[in-house]
Amino acid sequence: MATKVRGVEELKRNCRHLPAASKAVLREARVAGAEVIAERVRQLAPVDSGVLHDSIKVVVAGETVSVIIDREDYPGGVPYFAYVEYGTSRMDARPYFRPAFDQSKAAAEAVIVALAGAGLATVATSALSVRVREK
């Protein structure tokens, strides 16, 4: 009895999409991890007017995912974010960004690993589905 594998062309076609699908999964996982950090930064940021709190964003630029203080959202920007974090000659430091990162990086890593693992498994499973039939 001979065994014939059908779907080899489909498998080849599906495998061509693996790099793009994998990149998308990994980007989504990194964004989710960055959101964990951003949320903690927002929790620790001192709130006066709320401008600093509201300017904490997750941005994606190419392959890079970052948590930033988006100064473009407000007229005149939020130039004092560094003054609050590091202090000045007239104001004590009230660190929020670095402590938030330190406190949330393990949780962010766990989210990234979990989402990346599940997502890549799904991508690989769908790409590698091949039908085996006996002839």
- Of 5-14, 41-50, 111-120, the range with the lowest mean pLDDT is 5-14
Nearest to 40 by CA among 89, 93, 105, 85: 105
Give the per-residue pLDDT at 49: 81
Say how many domains are in the chain: 1
- Average pLDDT for 40-59: 90
If pLDDT is split at 50, 70 and 90, which confidence band does 51 have?
confident
| Whether the Cβ atoms of residue 28 and residue 119 lie closer than 8 Å to each other | yes
Average pLDDT over residues 109-124: 90
Instruction: For residue 62, give both structure tokens.
Output: 């190419």
Instruction: Domain of residue 101: give its range.
Output: 3-134
- Tell me, what's the pLDDT at 30? 94
Nearest of 124, 128, 98 to residue 26 by alpha carbon: 124
What three-state secondary structure class fits 87?
coil
Question: Quick check: pTM over 0.85?
Answer: no
How many residues belong to the chain?
135
